[in-house]
Structure 1
Amino acid sequence: MKFNDGFWRLKHGVKAYYGLQVVQVKAIDTGYDLQVATRPIQSRGDTLGGPLLSVRVHSPTQGVIGVNIDHVVSEQPKTNIGLFPDDGPVPDVTLSKEDKTHTLKTGDLTAKITENPYTITFKSPKQVLTEAGYKYQALYEVPSKWTTLSASQSSSLTTDPLSNPNPTPLPPIIYYINSELKTSPGELIYGLGEQFGPFVKNGQAVRIWNQDGGTSSDQAYKCVPFYITNRGYGVFINHPGEVEVEVNSEKVSRVGVSVADFSLEYFLIYGETPLEILQRYTRMTGRPALLPSWTYGLWLSTSFLTDYSTETVSSFLQGMQERNCPVRVFHIDCFWMKQYEWCSFTFDPDNFPDPKAYLAEIKEKYGVKICLWINPYISQLSPIFKEGVEGGYFIKRTNCTVWQWDLWQPGLAVVDVTNPDARKWYTDKLSALIDLGVDAFKTDFGERIPHANVVFHDGSEPIRFHNTYSVVYNELVFNLLKERFGEGEAVVFARSATVGGQRFPVHWGGDCESTWEAMAEAMRGALSLTLSGFGYASHDIGGFEGLPPPEIYQRWVAFGLFSSHSRLHGSSSYRVPWIYGEDAAKSMSKFLEAKHQLMPYIYNLSIEANSKGHPLMRAMFLEFPDDRTTHYLDRQFMLGPNLLVAPVFVPLKEETEYYLPAGRWTSFFHPERTIDGPKWVREVVPLDEVPLWVRPGSVLVLGPPGIGRPDYDYTKDLEVRVYELEEGGVVKVDVPAGKGKVMAGKVVAERKTGEEGVQVKNEGVEVKSVWYSGQAPGSI
């Protein structure tokens, strides 16, 4: 929210009450409680009237300092985002005072609070990280007739006549709490969820408010109130409703955060590395679940507006098998149900007369898992709509009628996921589908959740629950799958999310066009998402809208197969490769084979995501924070710490450009080729290639070729590749069993001082061959 007219003046009609000086300090176990005056206090008379800001500066766990700003404190404070879902807080706080300066220290993070003028300065052992300077915290009064409506106030859900036939007028004054933090020269801001605009967020105004706007707009399906900087800290805004973030966009050397509320809390999270920041952030908000190994295979969809007949499905699966592009998960999109009846949770008998027998047949014949499309919306023409109305399972208006509108499906209602009976009703429908042979669900939508003149069963405030709905919805389905199939066997393919949603993967990027630009949008969205605590990211290979030219399709296939999860999906056209030429199928087979062989490495990354919150798909600066060039890169990424992927975003015969940091890098597909970095590489990349480079000092453990699936025994017939190991270097690689966090064994590579070759020892696993930096395979 922008309150200022330039830097010095406020917009017409806006009043500001800035936090000016501390008038009361109380030490508590985890920090300080402050009373902050919003007017200069020079005499007793100055204490009469005017708001105070109640500020708590505290630490819930090591390396994290929270700042909670309240204007009005009630006996029943509104619920913020639930913290520490897996581990409880462990405060580690040291307090001290010198004159009028109060210090809170937790680990290597320190906050210094001055009383007059009131400021908070955050420091690491190396430098000042940021500060909330004088007049950086404020309560604003904004006349509603003057303000630009926020996303929650102006969205179509509020203004659509059917969805909100009797809108409540806005109050004459809207109150905002605003807090700012200084940004230093050269400081860059990233994250805030899956944002498709510029990767570096400086200069942008971002609204944390989930919307269904596609990848080519400023709206996002997965908005997360967390950003990370290249200066050694991240900021998590602990507010579940709409949060407006001005990233150097109102005051060009500050990040401003505002909420239309009487309370705002944020946590500043320090880390010596960006990965440590994510580790601490995900400890607070939850770590991604460990996914079954089969999910890393190829997902093939029917697409959306296409023919779903059993004959078509079988021909696609057969064609993929014949071209050595084995499908591991087959997804059946919306029209598995009759039109106008979504969701009925009943197979359309015209296309699937015996769904249980058919699903069993293709699972047996083609070795696939089955994923079905669902959403939380129920059409009034659905045969189960009456059940939902009579059971009270839908979100209601304030007049107790069912909330409905006509977007997407006629007269659709939305399942009230805060109602325990509605949750059981919904999951019972899904459980019946599991009985038919379904293994996973694509949990679509969850963004267009009403918030004006509606009530939820548990009394949740609609605006504060709008984003959170997506987490509860996906958790509901994920937990059902976990209950039915066991720990470590659940997966959803979700579109909407917010903070905490990373616990219920996987998430894909939503509706994109079939263009070079949209492919780049998908990457920026994925990189921003994985910088916001999410371990996995996927996207519609080839784009969703339109028919991609064969060249874009092939380039997107390379990008998609080296993303954490790989799905072929479109809108009105299919994504099987032979539609784009048989050469496309050959390229896909090559990249899919590489992903299968890399599974011991990839599955290890999944364990790391679950235990530490480190994402599989990593922005370059996560791995190379000391290389300033990497801080701006948004068209390449690291898959884990060892593999650099540089998808091609230019037409054939044009040069692509990518960057290799310091060290001697080795091509994964052409190990005879090495390049010494740091270096920008410009080259024409053949259509059946993708720049895939291995970081020096890496040891990759690969599965056997030709196995045709991602889930296999990771302990047998292994190939060990050792890349540019330094003299005296020793690298230990744990080899996962492929089920849970169990490690089956390990491989240790050592290069002794003065020797050219390496020694590789294995324990608990069978190594078939060893390769080292361009040399011929050697013995163990």
Structure 2
Amino acid sequence: MKFTDGYWLMRPGCTARYAAEVADVRADDHRLTLYAPVKHVSRRGQTLNSPLLTVECWSPAEGIIGVRTTHHAGSVRRGPEFALSGADAEAGKVHQDGAVLELTSGELTLRVDTEQPWRLEFTAGGRVLTSAGERGTGFVTDAEGRHHMVGQLALDVGELVYGLGERFTPFVKNGQTVDIWQADGGTSSEQAYKNIPFHLTNRGYGVFVNHPGKVSYEVGSESVGQVQFSVEDQSLEYFIVYGPTPKQVLERYTTLTGRPALPPAWALGLWLTTSFTTDYDEATVGRFIDGMAERGIPLSVFHFDCFWMRGYQWCDFAWDSDTFPDPAGMLSRLRQQGLRVSVWINPYIAQKSALFEEGMREGYLVRRPDGSVWQWDLWQPGMALVDFTNPAARDWYTGKLKTLLDQGVDCFKTDFGERIPTDVVWHDGSDPERMHNYYTHLFNEAVFELLRAERGEGEALLFARSATAGGQQYPVHWGGDCESHFRAMAESLRGGLSLGLSGFGFWSHDIGGFEGTPTPAVFKRWVQFGLLSSHSRLHGSKSYRVPWDYGEEAVDVTREFTLLKHRLAPYLQRAAQQAHTTGVPVMRAMVLEFPDDPAAASVDRQYMLGDDLLVAPVFTDDGTVEYYVPEGTWTNVLTGTQVTGPRWAREQHDFHTLPLLARPDSVIALGADDQHPVSAWADGVELRVHAFADGAEQTVVIPSTDGPGETARFHLRRRGDRLHVSTDSPHAWQLRIGGPSATAHSWPAGTREAELPYPA
């Protein structure tokens, strides 16, 4: 929110008060409390009739420093609150040298000089990361009498800001106004389904604003040298999270807010849906599944969207008996074909459903202040909202889902959750404004924890649209409702990369686009992109997304890239394990992997898939693609062609290739089985060695299929013209130096050491 009129003036009706100096300090070994008047005080009389801000500083974990500024401390805090790990820990150490106070946590230090005008200075590695200076700490009252706490942190020359959730606006956020407020706005506006009050910059730190309600950002947009954030409240809390690399920033941030669970490996395969409002029944489903099999396209998950239930009765979790007369039998038959099943749900109860009356009678639905059930006619006629702050309502809702699990459903698409009213009363007394964003967290948490309890650790999986901070714990998330053209494909990627820089490890999107019907060219290019994403789902709105509807070549492309993803499964599962243990996403913005390369700082039409694969989707009808190649010699995994960087490359690709480049000195593990996402990956694994320099060494881990462990590892090192390999694997394995046409070398089971010439 903007409060100023240019640099000198305030907007009409706005009055600002900013910390001017330190009047008093309370310090112990681990914590600082600063008392800051909003004007310079030179005599006793000036302490009267003027605000005094309380600024508390502490460290919840190494490399993180929290700052909480409070105006009036007597306000009632009704919640909800983000659950933060270690938020009460005492990781910092206070040191005082005369007028200078320092709070240090790891390499990060907060420095305050009590004899100088107000300034909170955050330093690390001998340099200033950022600071809250003259207007950096305070509050503003506006023309309507609303009270806003405000923070401002300085941006350095050339400093770029990323994150703030899944945002489809320009990737670098400098110059933008961003409101952290859940909205069902599609993928082509400034609104977002996943709003995260966390940003990081290319200067080695991130900032998390610990407020679940509306947080308004001015990112170099009101004051061009500052990131400003404000909340309508009496208190504002934020955390400076040090790296110094962006990966380390994400690791520390997700230590605080939660790491992503590890999705089951079977979810890596191809998902197919009925689409949204298409006509379908069991015969349609069978035709789709049989059609995929007949065309040699392996399918892993089938998803039933909205109309598996009866019209006007969403969500009552009952199969439409007219179209699905034997749901349990159908689900059993699908399981016998090797398929997992997902079904669509949301947290709304339509008035026509019998569950509405039951929920109203038992007090499970959100109510207005007068005690009536909150309802409207958008989406479902007379729909109400399940009150997940009520434990009994949560159990009631998940009990309905348990019945579906007992029938044979494996996972749920948790759709919607953004249009949450603020003129309501919550069961636990939560603040409606703070609950607007947070509601989706309760929804996804309830469903995910049910799956974890019923299916076991490592088997829980959502396909969720909305989220807030901490929502990364309940994967997977997908990009929401996009159009079916190349621009929408690019904007979806932009949103996914921003989400990955906000702590989310897994992300997907609707292959082919959601609204409208893609051209064959768009469909084939989106298939390439989608099957080189962490999770891959064919989905549309009013038209099907079976590949034969888009021509025989679309069938070929879908088959080729599905088989490729299956072979990449051990590599992708290893990247998934990294996301689970470190918070670093599977799909990574180039700045995340190459933070010291200025050319990578604003690149948003390509990404790194795991550590070692660069993917540049094609967004043109004629197959032309421009992409950035970082330093070194990169090898196209599909063609064997090598490209040397750093430079921009311009290429033209048919529908069977795209820039899919292996990093210099990389070793990519490819599974032997291209028909299934889950197999005995170590048995017959192929190690693909790319541009291995003399002296290079790499260790390749073959992950477990059912958890964060491993089944084998290989160590490779090059010395001159010889490549040496050692392994603990009891299985047969292969090695190929270069692209797909290079000679494959094979070793039988039990071979623990091997050496072969490295070609010049």
Category of TM-score, reference length = shorter chain: over 0.9
Report what 2:750 is aligned to.
Answer: none
One-letter code aligned to 1:709:
H
Question: Post-superposition shift, 1:28?
Answer: 2.9
Report if the CA contact (8 A) 1:80-1:238 is conserved: no
Matches of 1:193 and 1:213, distance apart in 2 = 14
Q: Specify the alignment match of 1:106 in structure 2.
A: 105
Q: Secondary structure at the match of 2:223?
A: coil
- Residue 668 of structure 2 corresponds to 700
Residue in 1 that maps onto 2:311:
339
CA distance in 2, matches of 1:486, 1:117: 56
Matching residue within 292, 302, 313 for 1:320: 292
Task: Tell me, yes or no, if the aligned pair for 1:61 and 1:89 is still in contact at 8 Å.
Answer: no
Aligned match of 1:398: 369
Of 593, 604, 609, the match for 2:563: 593
Aligned counterparts, 1:215-614, within 5 A: 215-365=187-337, 367-452=338-423, 454-614=424-584
CA distance in 1, matches of 2:74, 2:404: 46
Check conservation: 2:162, 2:200, Cα contact below 8 A.
yes
Amino acid at match of 1:691: P
Q: Which residue of 1 aligns with 2:146?
A: 174
Tell me how far 1:463 sits from its aligned partner: 0.5
SS state at 2:463 partner: coil
Further displaced range: 616-625 or 696-705: 696-705
TM-fit CA distance, 1:728: 2.3
1:723 is matched by which residue type in structure 2?
H
**Is 1:675 paired with 2:643?**
yes
Structure 2 vs 1, CA of residues 79 and 390 (structure 1 numbering), >3 Å: closer, same or farther?
closer
2:737 counterpart of 1:772: yes
- Per-residue CA distance 1:208-244 (angstroms, 9 max, x = gap): 0000011111110000000010010000000010000
| Aligned residue type for 1:113 | V
Query: d(CA) in 2 for partners of 1:761 and 1:581?
Result: 46
Question: How many angstroms does 1:301 deviate by?
Answer: 0.5
Moved over 6 A (4+): none
Once residues 92 and 431 of structure 1 are traced to their aligned partners in structure 2, the CA distance between those partners, rounded to angstroms, is: 42
- Find the aligned partners of 1:765 and 1:253 in 2 and give their Cα distance: 58
Counterpart of 2:91 in structure 1 is 92
Q: Indicate if the aligned counterparts of 1:599 and 1:702 stay in contact, CA closer than 8 A.
A: yes
Which amino acid in structure 1 is aligned with residue 95 of structure 2?
S
Kindly state the Cα deviation for residue 385 of structure 1 after the two structures are TM-superposed. Answer: 1.1
TM-score of the pair, normalised by structure 2: 0.96
Opposite residue 440 of structure 1, the aligned amino acid is C
Match of 1:684 in 2: 652
User: How far apart, in 1, do the equivalents of 2:36 and 2:182 lie?
Assistant: 33
Cα gap change, 1:442/1:766 in structure 2, threshold over 3 Å: closer, same or farther? Answer: same
**How many angstroms apart in 2 are the aligned matches of 1:598 and 1:126?**
42
Q: What residue number does 1:48 align with?
A: 48
Q: Once structures 1 and 2 are overlaid, which stretch shifts more, 697-706 or 76-85?
A: 76-85
Aligned equivalent of 2:58: 58
By how many angstroms is 1:97 displaced? 2.1
CA contact (8 A) 1:664 1:677 kept: yes
* Contact persistence 2:79–2:431 (CA under 8 A): no
Question: Which residue number corresponds to residue 167 of structure 1?
Answer: none
Q: Judge conservation of contact 2:673–2:679 (CA < 8 Å) in 1.
A: no
Runs (5+) with no aligned partner, structure 2: 747-753, 755-760
Q: Distance in 1 between the 2:728 and 2:74 partners?
A: 61
In 2: Cα distance, 1:650 partner to 1:11 partner: 45
Report the alpha carbon displacement of residue 478 of structure 1 after superposing the two structures with TM: 0.5
Equivalent residue letter for 2:668: L
The amino acid across from 2:647 in the alignment is K
1:724 matches 2:691: yes
- The within-5 A match list for 1:66-81 is 66-74=66-74, 77-79=77-79, 81=81
1:757 aligns with 2:722: yes
Distance 2:189 2:517 in 1: 20
TM-score (norm 1): 0.94
What do the CA deviations read for 1:682-731 (whole angstroms, capped 9, x no partner)? 0111122121000011111110143x111111121111111222222221
Q: Which residue of 2 aligns with 1:164?
A: none
Q: Structure 1 residues 89, 182: CA separation in 2 closer, same or farther (over 3 Å shift)?
A: same
Report the Cα distance in structure 1 between the residues aligned to 2:380 and 2:631, rounded to whole angstroms.
54
Judge conservation of contact 1:303–1:575 (CA < 8 Å) in 2.
yes
Q: 1:638 aligns with which of 592, 600, 608?
A: 608
State the SS of the aligned residue for 1:396.
Answer: coil
Q: Residue deviations 1:62-99, cap 9 Å, x none? A: 111111010111386454643444x6765332322233
What SS does the aligned partner of 1:360 have? helix
Q: Number of aligned residue pairs: give it.
A: 744
CA distance in 1, matches of 2:366, 2:409: 28
Measure, in 2, the Cα distance between the counterparts of 1:765 and 1:451: 60
Cα distance in 1 for residues equivalent to 2:380 and 2:93: 57
- Is the alpha carbon distance of 1:14 and 1:93 closer, same or farther for their aligned partners in structure 2, counting shifts above 3 Å? same
Q: Could you list the runs of 5+ residues in structure 1 that have no partner in the other structure?
A: 145-172
Determine the C-alpha separation between the residues in 1 that align with 2:3 and 2:75.
30
Please, which moves more after superposition, 756-765 or 621-630? 756-765
Superposed displacement of residue 765, structure 1: 4.5
- The letter of the residue matching 2:102 is T
RMSD (Å) for aligned C-alpha atoms: 1.3
Classify the secondary structure of the residue corresponding to 2:404. helix
Give 3-state SS (helix, strand or coil) of 1:749's partner: strand
Q: Aligned in 2, Cα 1:125/1:288: closer, same or farther, shift over 3 Å?
A: same
After superposition, the C-alpha distances for 1:408-445 in whole angstroms (9 at most, x for unaligned) are 00110000000011011101100011111100000000
Q: Is the 8 A contact 2:682 2:733 kept in 1?
A: no
**How much has 1:135 moved relative to structure 2?**
2.7
Whole-Å separation in 1 of the counterparts to 2:87 and 2:682: 36
